[in-house]
Amino acid sequence: MSRKPVHLAVYDTLADWETGHATAHLARAGHEIRTAGPTTAPVRTIGGLRIQPDLALDDVRPEDSSLLILPGADLWDTGDDLAPFARKAREFLAAGVPVAAICGATAGLAREGLLDDRAHTSAVSFYLAATGYRGGDKYVDADAVTDGALITAGPTEPVAFAREILRLLGVYEGEVLDAWYRLFHDSDAAAYAVLEKAGAL
């Protein structure tokens, strides 16, 4: 049975650095990555890269996906342009399909009420508090947090974000996952041998 694709949300001002580790290593492990934009019109990242979405958000269905990844973007904090992506996250979580949100996307989920009853993290607690959400007591000061089908992380933790995604989808586990994190986060050369032995490079 073939795996369902991973859907990566793409939109103008997307933070280029936040999802690269996750998508690259998912693809290396055989997961298809499909991009979903507000429409199929091209978008531009913060770094100026032009991305042509594979499909429009309205055409993304939880039953056709193994994960929805929501990157940060300036637009999360400047209006409601990206609110449809938070609503799509609600649809995914209601269907039991995982969602991974980093940086500004966590604020979008907070506004949608999706962090009120789930353990989560973000850049800092007061960033989410400014949304007026009711989940402040569920905030965890950690590099990345997984609560059931939801992963959250702050903008400076793309490697920890990827670690949680790789764990949730069963790409790596145990000693191999730990070694992967140590190599890419800590530049621990000893971790390379563990990954090489496991055929994880």
d(CA 47, CA 132): 30
Handedness of CA 189, 155, 141, 87 (dihedral sign): negative
103 a catalytic residue: yes
**Torsional class of 170: left (φ above 0), alpha (ψ -120 to 50), beta (otherwise):** left
Q: Give the chain's largest Cα–Cα span.
A: 48
CB neighbour list of residue 135: distance below 8 Å, 6 or more residues apart: 110, 115, 116, 117, 118, 120, 128
For residue 68, give the 3-state DSSP assignment. Answer: strand
Catalytic residue chosen out of the listed positions 68, 103, 107, 109:
103
Query: Among candidates 20, 3, 187, 44, which has minimal Cα distance to 102?
Result: 20
- What length does the chain have? 201
Catalytic residues: 103
